[in-house]
Amino acid sequence: MTSEPLLSVRDLRVEFSTSAGVVTAVDGASFDVRRGETVALLGESGSGKSVTAQAMLGIIPKPAGRVTGGSIEYDGRDLLALPATATRELRGREIAMVFQDPLSSLNPVFRVGAQIGEMFRKHRGASRKEARAEALELMRRVGIPAAEKRLDDYPHQFSGGMRQRVMIAMALALSPRLLIADEPTTALDVTVQAQIMDLLARLQDEEGMSLVLITHDLGVVADVADRVVLMYAGRVVEAGPIREVYEHSAHPYTAGLMGSLPAIDGPRERLTPIQGAPPDLLDLPSGCSFRPRCAFASERCADEEPVLLGAPGRPAPHSSACHHAGKVLTDAP
Amino acid sequence: MAAYVLRRLFFSVFVLWGAVTIIFVVLRLVPGDPAYIMLGPDADQAQVAALRAQLGLDHSLIQQYATYLSNVVRLDFGQSFRLNADSMSLVLQRVPATVQLASTALLVSLLIGLPLGVVAALRANTWIDRGISVFSLLGQSTPSFWLGIVMILLFARGLQVLPSSGSGSWAHLVLPTITLALPFLAILVRLTRSGLLEVVHEGYVQTARAKGLLESTVILSHALRNALIPIVTVVGLQFGALLGGTVIVETVFAWPGVGRLLIDSIGRRDYGVVQASILLVATIFVGINLLVDLIYGFLDPRVRLAGD
Amino acid sequence: MTSTDLDLTTTAVPRPATSTRGRAGSARIRFGLAVIIVYVVAAAIGPWLVRFDPVATRTQDRLKPPGSRLSDGSLAILGTDQVGQDLLAQMLQGARISIAVGLATLLLAGTIGVTVGLAAGYFGGWLDSVLMRLADIQLAFPSILLAIFIAALLGPSVVNVVIVLAVSNWVTFARVTRGQALTTRRREFVDASRTLGAGTWRLIRRCVLPACIAPVLVVATVEIGHVILAEASLSFLGLGTPASTPSWGVTIANGRNYLADAWWISTVPGIALAFLVVSLGVLGDALRDRYDPRLRSL
């Protein structure tokens, strides 16, 4: 693992115009993804994590959504400044994505072999036969049994887990250097979830690629991620090495999530869920967005928006966007 | 697939049987003696008696229905007293002209309507989209008999570049085709636009973009193929309106097809020919819809593979 | 490790706005309504202001172009027809017929359709199957052909046109009502009323029928344009209103024989007809988008 980042997101802002008004889905998010590492992007729905991923790929739904600020530097080039044709060529080839729901993400009217093979045909100019052979090889690699028989099946003929394997095969086709997986196991059975996570971890290891794992599920992340970036209401609220953040949460939101996570060792009295409702992006409070749900909230939190700073007294890569980070660290169990 | 085809085939036969039955019921529901109505007030007693015997009007309704069905199956709609020929063969003579007109109109509608619909969807809520929408609304709302007359005024009488009526050359086909195609084309534009707008937010379109495909491939291959599935069914049903439209367009442009024969025969109270024409057009329509169902199955593997 | 779901409650997820709904549709609704009100007012009081006598013939005023002075000194704004009738008067009379036929047809088709739809949707079972197969057959049969066939047998008259068009248009009403009745039947408040001993008739009248009103009205607005066009087409073919009742279709058909000398007889009523149908289309679409986007495929 080298320290030079492969991808560097700086002050990213994405806005969506809805019938009810303009919503800032991502509000000044910054984080890095280094070569070969796994970064977990964690947050509730509406926290901006999926929109951040769409921005990284340049596939924000237009004309409703648009990037209004910041930069996304990939391998030294700012993706947001590149012409559309250049970012399109990076998609699939350098940066690939696996989506949450494999049923709706696969085209229902094309055979899976053709959908995987399309990567080779369109990006590499492969012949139909070559593409088919490559697709077969990939399907075997992601562990689809009887792959040569299933090559000509349609997505609806596969089980959820197998469909996600097809999606992963498609994403890995051109050996990308960065794979973004947006809630890859959420739509799947619990038993299948672990298999898919194992597959992703194994493939990442084999390919040496970077992996951005977008999830709302703390449990999924713990075993595989190197670092975690927590998002809340479009902002990054805490970031750092995963053990460090788990064990020494420096943001009340993270601390709250830890509190609502059942402990593995021994029973706890009761789960303490985070109080209050998730934020309404159309009507965010002044200052810190988490303020209404926060036990540490003070007047300063209403007046001044906290910025992402190094967590006080903790080793360097750990940062938090909270005025009371020090207090949160000492109060935590 | 075989089960699916068989199911659709069965439904088609069922619909045709329904159409035949509706004609029978309507003929018996209309007050008065069917033979007398069919022949008109100036028929003589001998003619009425002959037709009564042919229709089996002295027997029970069920027997009449059986006689009627067996006549229909044998394509026997009786002699046309006025044209002195077999009713069905009179209609069959006119079929090529109608098929030529309807298929040209269908082709023109598809070639113009689909691209316009795609453009409107891709440029949704811009002035291009609004322009296309206004055109489509006008196309759907303009009475085709009036449009035909206006075009005759403009191109045949005013500019004198195209013939106003009759058939024979490609020039004769131009005005009737435009008149017949416009309403169908307008509906096609609307359906394509809304169908495409519905699928562009689907996950698989996002996947196609994430795969780094050209935007044209994303839309024309991944999105349109899915958008076409519901469109095809409605297009099949709307094709009935196009076939019905041939009656009007053929009347306006004196086009020698089944539609004009139908209207002429109604004027002459030649009901054998009327029944034969209507059942023939209905058969064409049912046949087209059977074809549409097969295309539907081809486009959507979920339908095709459901029975297997 | 047990997973924790962070989606605690429903969040205000930003949804990409695909179309501007709500307020934006009100301009279209206002436009459609305004035009329709003008037509209805013209149809209601116009024939009193500009007298139309169907049997009058004034040979000296035949085929006068729009804006001509007539022999009695009056101004023929839209010109005269082949028997010297004022075209404006004729068109106002025609508006009355078109709108009356349209409304009467919708009333009849709506009554048949809603009754069938309620029966099919509420009772279900074999009744539903039979009625809906019947609807399928009719849909699989070009409705104008059915109308032409029935009209040909019945002969041209205003009442017959209404019957013919109602017979070929009830299916849409039946399908929409059935769908609505099916969903309403399963709702809790209907079950609750049933438990409290409400009878079938009362349940249909008090619970199911009210739920059908909005979609049926939307369908009626979308359909009335089609009905008016169909009436004009039938009349044009000589199968609709009789020649003594000058609906727009009849006037346009009459003008066909005088295209060389008097273009206005056929063109002007067509413009009036098309504009009315366009406005009804705009209104119908806007209402559908606003109240029931599910009906989009109509």
Place of tokens 């009205």: C217
What phi and psi, each to the nearest 5 degrees, are found at residue A71? Answer: -145, 155
Give residue A14's pLDDT: 92
Other CB atoms within a 10 A radius of the CB of residue B112 amount to 15
pLDDT digits (tens), chain B, 308 positions: 677 788 888 888 888 888 888 888 887 777 777 777 777 777 788 878 887 777 777 778 888 888 888 888 888 887 777 777 888 888 999 999 998 899 999 999 999 999 999 999 888 878 999 899 889 988 888 888 889 888 888 887 778 778 777 777 788 888 999 999 999 999 899 889 988 888 888 889 999 999 989 888 899 889 998 888 888 887 887 888 888 888 899 988 888 989 889 888 887 777 788 888 888 888 888 888 888 888 888 888 887 776 54
pLDDT, mean of residues C103-125: 89
pLDDT at C249 over 80: yes
Q: Where in chain B is the domain with CATH 1.10.3720.10?
A: 88-307
Structure tokens at A17: 């115009």
Considering only CA atoms, which of A144, A141, A174, A173 is closest in space to residue A157?
A144
**Chain C positions in Cβ-Cβ contact with residue B23 (cut-off 8 Å):** 149
Of B26, B144, B267, Cβ closest to residue C153: B26
Other CB atoms within a 10 A radius of the CB of residue B298 amount to 13
pLDDT at C1 over 60: no
Q: Which helix (H) or strand (E) holds C172?
A: helix C170-185
Torsion of CA B163, B167, B170, B175, to 10 degrees: 50
Measured distance CA(B189)–CA(B192) in Å, rounded: 5
| Exposed / middle / buried, residue A333 (Cβ in 10 Å: 0-12, 13-18, 19+) | exposed
Place of tokens 């209309």: B30
Of B124, B153, B243, Cβ closest to residue C259: B153
pLDDT at A225 over 50: yes
Give residue C22's pLDDT: 45
Measured distance CA(B86)–CA(B272) in Å, rounded: 9
Place of tokens 């597959």: A199
Give residue B105's pLDDT: 93
Chains in contact with C, where contact requires at least 3 CB pairs less than 8 Å apart: A, B
Tell me how far CA of residue A138 lies from CA of A133, A135, A145, A196, in angstroms.
9, 5, 12, 15
Q: Which helix (H) or strand (E) holds C254?
A: helix C248-255
Contact at CB, C137 and B282, closer than 8 angstroms:
no
Query: Would you place residue C60 in the very low, low, confident or very high pLDDT band (cuts 50, 70, 90)?
Result: confident
DSSP C185-222: HTSHHHHHHHHTT--HHHHIIIIIHHHHHHHHHHHHHH
Query: Would you place residue C294 in the very low, low, confident or very high pLDDT band (cuts 50, 70, 90)?
Result: low
pLDDT at A238 over 70: yes
Q: Which long-range contacts (CB under 8 A, 24 or more apart) does B73-82 make?
A: B75/B276, B77/B272, B77/B273, B77/B275, B77/B276, B77/B279, B78/B51, B78/B54, B78/B272, B79/B272, B80/B265, B80/B270, B80/B272, B80/B273, B81/B39, B81/B47, B81/B270, B82/B268, B82/B270
**Chain C positions in Cβ-Cβ contact with residue A261 (cut-off 8 Å):** 2, 4
Structure tokens at B241: 């309106």
Q: Which residues contact C68 (CB under 8 A, 6 or more apart)?
A: C75, C76, C79, C80
A246 touches chain C (CB under 8 A): no
Q: Which residues contact C192 (CB under 8 A, 6 or more apart)?
A: none
Report cis status (omega within 30 of 0) of the bond before A63: yes
pLDDT at A282 over 50: yes
Structure tokens at A287: 């200052």
Considering only CA atoms, which of B177, B22, B154 is closest in space to residue C153?
B22
Contact at CB, C6 and A44, closer than 8 angstroms:
yes
Q: Which residues pair with B85 in a beta bridge?
A: B80
pLDDT at A141 over 80: yes
- Cα C161 to its chain centre, rounded Å, is 14
What percent of chain C lies above the pLDDT cut of 90?
Answer: 6
Place of tokens 């159409």: B19
Closest-CA distance, A141 to chain C, in angstroms, reads: 27
Other CB atoms within a 10 A radius of the CB of residue A140 amount to 14
The radius of gyration of chain B's CA atoms, rounded to the nearest angstrom, is 23
How do residues C215-233 score in pLDDT, each as one tens digit? 888 888 888 888 998 888 8
Other CB atoms within a 10 A radius of the CB of residue C75 amount to 11
pLDDT at C4 over 50: no
C154 touches chain B (CB under 8 A): yes
Considering only CA atoms, which of B223, B206, B204 is closest in space to residue A91?
B206
Query: Would you place residue A184 in the very low, low, confident or very high pLDDT band (cuts 50, 70, 90)?
Result: confident
pLDDT at A182 over 60: yes
- Which CATH code fits C87-296? 1.10.3720.10
Place of tokens 């044009």: C236
Helix axes C264-291, C87-118, angle to 10 degrees: 30
Give residue C168's pLDDT: 83
Measured distance CA(A164)–CA(A101) in Å, rounded: 8
Q: Reduced to 3 DSSP states, what percent helix, strand and coil does chain C have, rounded to the nearest 5?
A: 70, 0, 30
Place of tokens 């509190």: A259
**3-class secondary-structure state, position A311:** coil
Q: Identity (one letter) of the amino acid at C198? A: A
pLDDT at A321 over 80: yes
* B interface test, pick of C31, C129, C144, C164 with most B CB neighbours within 10 Å: C144
What percent of chain A lies above the pLDDT cut of 70?
Answer: 94
Could you tell me if B82 and B49 are in contact, meaning their C-beta atoms sit under 8 angstroms apart? no
Structure tokens at A138: 């990939």
Of B210, B301, B302, Cβ closest to residue A59: B210
Query: Would you place residue C248 in the very low, low, confident or very high pLDDT band (cuts 50, 70, 90)?
Result: confident
Structure tokens at A250: 């420096």
Closest-CA distance, B138 to chain C, in angstroms, reads: 6
Other CB atoms within a 10 A radius of the CB of residue A194 amount to 13
pLDDT at C19 over 50: no
B281 touches chain C (CB under 8 A): yes
Helix axes C209-236, C143-154, angle to 10 degrees: 70
Measured distance CA(B167)–CA(B157) in Å, rounded: 17
DSSP B192-256: HHHHHHHHTTSHHHHHHHHTT--HHHIIIIIIHHHHHHHHHHHHHHHHHHHHHHHHHHHHHTT--
Measured distance CA(B137)–CA(B142) in Å, rounded: 9
Query: Would you place residue A20 in the very low, low, confident or very high pLDDT band (cuts 50, 70, 90)?
Result: confident
Measured distance CA(A23)–CA(A65) in Å, rounded: 9
Half-sphere exposure of B189 (CA within 13 A, CB side): 26
A279 touches chain C (CB under 8 A): yes
Closest-CA distance, B71 to chain A, in angstroms, reads: 45
Could you tell me if B117 and B196 are in contact, meaning their C-beta atoms sit under 8 angstroms apart? yes
Nearest residue of A to residue C3, measured between CA atoms? A219
DSSP conformational letter for C13: P
Of residues C76 and C146, the one with the higher pLDDT is C146
- Which CATH code fits B88-307? 1.10.3720.10
Q: Mean pLDDT, chain C, as a whole number?
A: 78
Contact at CB, A92 and B211, closer than 8 angstroms:
yes
Give residue C12's pLDDT: 35
Measured distance CA(A151)–CA(A163) in Å, rounded: 12
**Chain C positions in Cβ-Cβ contact with residue A222 (cut-off 8 Å):** 1
Q: Identity (one letter) of the amino acid at B62? A: I
